[in-house]
A = this chain, B = another copy of it.
């Protein structure tokens, strides 16, 4: 699109294009949307980016994102500090929160072990997890993703924790609720069979 190049607009399109799942066309659409915003709104948007960057950091305990010292979960006295759910990203923790079922705390690793991407155990918040373990912790739930990397991470951490006498569990694999056996992949189905429960 070199024929028609308005530099400040192109720069904005480029910024959007870098984002995950945003191609050139969508980036254009978003940039035009921003251009058509009222000036005050554009200012708010611009400031929200800077503000988020300046105010948000990791929770001292669980490494989740927060703008305070502790994250809302670690701050909450009603949450069971004896159970720690280990997740890869803050969004995974949010997904767990959305179930409204889990009353324990989290630990966010900020990634998973992935030799291909040059991510080793030391790049994750595993030291921080070990540091917060005490005799009050009764269970660590490995809720990393059901992928090769997530599984490897869960396995790695469980091997660290088990010798310390801590109960380590893993989220159940199986067919998703509302899913269709016909369309379930073989591995998932095999895992569902393996993990079958008595009725």
The interface residues of chain B lying within 8 Å CB-to-CB of A89 are: 32
- Which residue of chain B has its CB nearest to the CB of A28? B91
Give A55 to B97 CA distance when docked, in angstroms. Answer: 43
Query: When chains A and B are docked, how far (Å) is the Cα of A186 from the Cα of B31?
Result: 35
Q: How many copies does the complex hold?
A: 2
Does A50 sit within 8 A of B, measured CB to CB? Answer: yes
Contact with B along A39-65 (1 / 0, CB 8 A): 100111111111111011000000001
Residues in A lying within 8 Å of B, measured CB to CB? 1, 3-9, 11-12, 14-15, 19-22, 26, 28-35, 37, 39, 42-53, 55-56, 65-67, 71-73, 89-91, 93-94, 97-98, 100
Given contacts A11-B48, A90-B32, contact A65 B19 (CB under 8 A): no
| Residues of B close to A35: CB separation below 8 A | 52-53, 56, 65
Query: What are 6 pairs between A and B in contact, CB < 8 Å?
Result: A3-B72, A8-B48, A29-B91, A32-B91, A43-B50, A46-B49
Contact A30 B34 (CB under 8 A): no
A72 in contact with B5 (CB, 8 Å): yes
Indicate whether A1 sits within 8 Å of B98 (C-beta atoms), given known contacts A15-B48, A32-B89, A45-B49: yes
